[in-house]
Amino acid sequence: MGRVSNKVAVVTGGALGIGRAACVMLGAEGASVAVTDILDEQGREVAELINSSGGRAAYWHLEVTDEAQIKSAFSEIEKQFGPISILVNNAGITGANKPTHELTQEEWDHVMNVNVKGVFLCTKHVIGSMRRAGSGSIINLSSIYGLVSAPDIPPYHASKGAVRLMTKTDALLYAKDKIRANSIHPAYIWTPLVEKFLKSQGDVTELRKKLDTLHPLGHVGEPDDIAYGIVYLASDESKFVTGSELVIDGGYTCR
């Protein structure tokens, strides 16, 4: 309890999956949590859950590709809770699953806009607030697909590779401001994103079994497996950690 007390956290894509788990755990550990998403009903429910469990949270509609919306939401969050010291750049999409030669420019751009430009814009607009807070932690959701490849979803791989290196550049640029930046690299985690992806590929139960076998620990992960890593990187326990890659993958990338 209290590992991130007195800190203000913004989580993008906080209504479902990993973002939701991060919001709930950050709230339980004492942060004031700005739950943001494009799914308003589910996002509000997450904020209500944190408040009804004795934490402090509110919901903002935030589309991560919309710079004006980010600017105004971050300014309102700071007014309500104080300067932001934790940003979890979590919102992300899988996008089109086609080989490179079949992809359209629109399909490519869509993934890059959400997964890469979204991280850039949210980071851009949080720096001022983190400087006012006196320190900060930026946590970017990359993926095992930002470290190793697989013969699928080419724009997703490109986007998560970009996020990995953007993190290191920002770690260097803002170290002097005591702002840390780290990336997290989950393997398959059972969330609506993965379920939706499997539904588009065939029988979900059979495909989940196949996914399980890709992980040496024998199964896909759950959102809390990643939320624990997020809380560590958000807290002062990781005060000497910046530019690092936290791989949480059940052994997927050992091979």
Residues in contact with ligand NAP by the rule CB under 6 A: 12-13, 15-19, 37-39, 62-65, 90-93, 114, 118, 141, 143, 186, 188-189, 191-194
- Give the nearer residue to ligand NAP in terms of CB position, either 81 or 188: 188
Distance (Å) of CA 191 to CA 89, 139, 239: 17, 19, 29
- Give the nearer residue to ligand NAP in terms of CB position, either 118 or 136: 118
- Give the nearer residue to ligand NAP in terms of CB position, either 37 or 170: 37
> DSSP letter string over 115-146?
IIIHHHHHHHHHHHHHHHHT-EEEEEE--GGG
- Give the nearer residue to ligand NAP in terms of CB position, either 46 or 179: 46
228 in active site: no
CA angle, 48 then 51 then 57, to 5°? 85
CA angle, 83 then 159 then 105, to 5°? 120
| Cβ atoms of 40 and 59 closer than 8 Å | yes
Neighbours of 66 (CB within 10 A): 15
Q: What is the token pair recorded at 49?
A: 């859950």
CA angle, 58 then 142 then 84, to 5°? 35
- Give the nearer residue to ligand NAP in terms of CB position, either 6 or 200: 200
Q: How far, in Å, CA of 228 to CA of 248, rounded? A: 10
Q: What is the token pair recorded at 183?
A: 């990336």
Q: How far is the CB of 178 from ligand NAP (least distance, A)?
A: 26
Q: How far is the CB of 74 from ligand NAP (least distance, A)?
A: 14
Q: How far is the CB of 182 from ligand NAP (least distance, A)?
A: 14
Q: How far is the CB of 144 from ligand NAP (least distance, A)?
A: 6
Neighbours of 45 (CB within 10 A): 15
- Give the nearer residue to ligand NAP in terms of CB position, either 114 or 166: 114
Q: How far, in Å, CA of 109 to CA of 113, rounded? A: 6
Q: How far is the CB of 88 from ligand NAP (least distance, A)?
A: 9
CA angle, 205 then 206 then 208, to 5°? 65
Pick the catalytic residue: 59, 145, 156, 188?
156
Q: How far is the CB of 239 from ligand NAP (least distance, A)?
A: 24
As annotated, the active-site residues are 156
